């Protein structure tokens, strides 16, 4: 009892511990609360939260690259795409229609790690020649890579299904599953359980487990020798190298571990959607994940997770629902004429709100950054390090020549 009390006492003022605790409690009770609040029809929301978990996984992975090692990656969605397509190839009938002529159906639990491994390899292959570049040049290389990968998948014809992509991917299966009132049934044991869109709570629970797994992994890495090497490289690469840190391999590891997490998320994404298409991996995905990390607090795992929750909620719940809400508000105020489009170019209030979602998104990004440039939940260690102004040695070489 005393140990518990001491643990609580020592952590009650630690924002990270509070954030972890609140997120864990929130994650566990979310499905039940949603089902209760919506009267049992909240499956859609639970599925949405599971999709949000994909972004959260990516934010945790990108946090390793950007937050821990200080490498700016603007093409992170490329590894997400690689993970998804790898899953699509090894767990569907698609390889049967390619020149290989033999389809693979690797079980989800193994394919998840294949996707992760392939993405990590791609990260290492991209990183090996480019990680010697400093600062923003690396960002530009990754930006280019992020633009190339989805286009290659789109253009690769028969191998990747071209523009329509690959559909009918295998769903995860388990030897058994517990069903209960959260899907509107009595408690019971379901043998040979298949994850389907009829039971999104299962996907949600799987996502929670995956996130917990990755968080523990990344947290341990952060506190390891490697994590300290990452920080050293981030703060001063030259000094780190002089102190015996192998900067190339340390950066390569950060890059590959980030890519692996993204590939992991990608494989889950493919399985849940049961469909992959090159349209879903554009620059906007990389930017969104980066914004999540920076918004939440770079270099802090719960910060990145919090950023993912906030931004995902805004982007995928608040903004898509705003037009409908606005229309409802207009009718309830007796202003129905606002909902009608007229020939003077007024497209109706719903359409206006729908079009202005980019305005709102932009204002939110700028507003949060101006109010809290260090993020919502900044890293305590980083804060101590950066109380002084950023030293000149960290800046990339400047030039303006004419």
Partner 1 sequence: MAAMVQRLRASVITTPTASLINLVGLAIVAVALVATAQRVYQGGATYFFQTLGFGLAQGAIFALVALGYTMVYGIIELINFAHGDVFTLGAFVSLALMPVFGLNEGRISGAALILPLLGLFVVTMLICALVNVGIERVAYRPLRHAPRLAPLITAIGMSALLEGVMNVWRGPFNLHYPDFLPSTQIPIGGGVTIAAKAVMVIVVAVVLMVSLTLFVNRSKLGKAMRATAQDRDAAQLMGIDINRTISATFFIGAALAGAAGIIYGLYYNSVQAFDGFQYGLYAFTAAVFGGIGNIPGAALGGILIGVIYSISDGYFTVSWTQVLVFAILIFVLVFRPTGLLGMRVPEK
* E strands in 34-149: 91-92, 104-105
Interatomic CA distance for residues 40 and 143, integer angstroms: 43
Nearer to partner 1, 193 or 283 (CB): 283
For partner 1, which is the closer residue by CB, 40 or 362?
Answer: 362
Residue 32 to residue 201: CA distance in whole angstroms: 10
Output the smallest distance, CB 140 to partner 1, in A.
5
In whole angstroms, the minimum distance from the beta carbon of 65 to partner 1 comes to: 12
Smallest separation, CB 19 to partner 1 (Å) = 20
The answer to whether 247 and 237 have CB atoms below 8 angstroms apart is yes
Structural element, H or E, at residue 256? helix 247-273
For residues 260 and 291, give the distance between their C-alpha atoms in angstroms, rounded to a whole number: 20
Element holding 179 (H helix, E strand) = strand 173-179
Rounded distance between C-alpha atoms, residue 274 and residue 109, angstroms: 15
Q: Which residues contact partner 1 by CB under 8 A? A: 66, 72, 129-130, 133-134, 136-137, 139-141, 143-145, 147-148, 151-152, 154-155, 238, 283, 287, 290-291, 294-295, 298, 347, 352, 355-366, 369-370, 373-374, 386, 389-390, 392-393, 395-402
CB nearer to partner 1: pick between 129 and 334: 129
Q: How far is the CB of 197 from partner 1 (least distance, A)?
A: 30
Q: Characterize 75-93 residue by residue with b for buried, 16 or more Cβ atoms within 10 angstroms of its Cβ, and e for exposed.
A: bbbbbbbbbbbbbbbbbbe
Closest to partner 1 by CB, 111 vs 295, is 295
Q: Which is nearer to partner 1, 333 or 402 (CB)?
A: 402
Q: What kind and span of H or E run contains 173?
A: strand 173-179
- Nearest distance from C-beta of residue 134 to partner 1, angstroms: 7
Minimal distance in Å, beta carbon 71 to partner 1?
11
Spatial contact of 306 and 377, defined as CB atoms under 8 Å apart: yes
Cβ distance to partner 1 smaller for residue 272 or 382: 382
């Amino acid at each position: 009892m005393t140990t518990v009390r001491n643990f609580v006492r020592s952590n009650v003022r630690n924002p990270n511990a509070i954030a972890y605790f609140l997120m864990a409690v929130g994650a566990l009770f979310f499905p039940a609360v949603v089902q209760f609040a919506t009267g049992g029809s909240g499956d859609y929301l639970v599925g949405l939260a599971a999709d949000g978990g994909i972004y959260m996984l990516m934010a945790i992975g990108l946090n390793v690259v950007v937050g821990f090692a200080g490498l700016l990656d603007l093409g992170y969605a490329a590894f997400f795409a690689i993970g998804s397509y790898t899953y699509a190839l090894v767990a569907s009938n698609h390889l049967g229609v390619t020149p290989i002529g033999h389809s693979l159906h690797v079980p989800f639990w193994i394919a998840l790690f294949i996707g992760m491994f392939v993405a990590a390899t791609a990260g290492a292959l991209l990183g090996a020649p480019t990680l010697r570049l400093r600062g923003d040049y690396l960002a530009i290389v990754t930006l280019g890579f992020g633009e190339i990968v989805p286009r290659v998948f789109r253009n690769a014809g028969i191998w990747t299904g071209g523009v329509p992509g690959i559909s009918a991917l295998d769903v995860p299966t388990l030897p058994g599953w517990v069903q209960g009132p959260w899907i509107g049934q009595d408690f019971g044991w379901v043998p040979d359980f298949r994850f389907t869109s009829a039971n999104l709570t299962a996907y949600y629970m799987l996502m929670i487990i995956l996130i917990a797994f990755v968080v523990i992994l990344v947290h341990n890495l952060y506190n390891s020798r490697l994590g300290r090497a990452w920080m050293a490289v981030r703060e001063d690469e030259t000094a780190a190298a002089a102190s015996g840190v192998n900067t190339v391999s340390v950066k390569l590891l950060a890059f590959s571990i980030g890519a692996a997490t993204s590939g992991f998320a990608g494989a889950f994404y493919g399985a849940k959607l049961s469909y992959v298409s090159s349209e879903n991996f554009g620059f906007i995905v990389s930017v969104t994940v980066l914004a999540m990390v920076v918004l939440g607090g770079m270099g802090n795992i719960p910060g990145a997770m919090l950023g993912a929750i906030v931004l995902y909620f805004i982007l995928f719940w608040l903004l898509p629902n705003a037009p409908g809400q606005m229309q409802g508000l207009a009718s309830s105020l007796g202003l129905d004429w606002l909902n009608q489009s007229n020939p003077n170019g007024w497209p109706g209030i719903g359409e206006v709100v729908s079009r202005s979602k980019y305005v709102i998104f932009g204002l939110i990004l700028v507003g949060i950054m101006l109010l809290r440039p260090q993020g919502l939940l900044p890293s305590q260690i980083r804060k101590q390090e950066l109380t002084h102004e950023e030293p000149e040695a960290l800046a990339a070489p400047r030039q303006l020549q004419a």
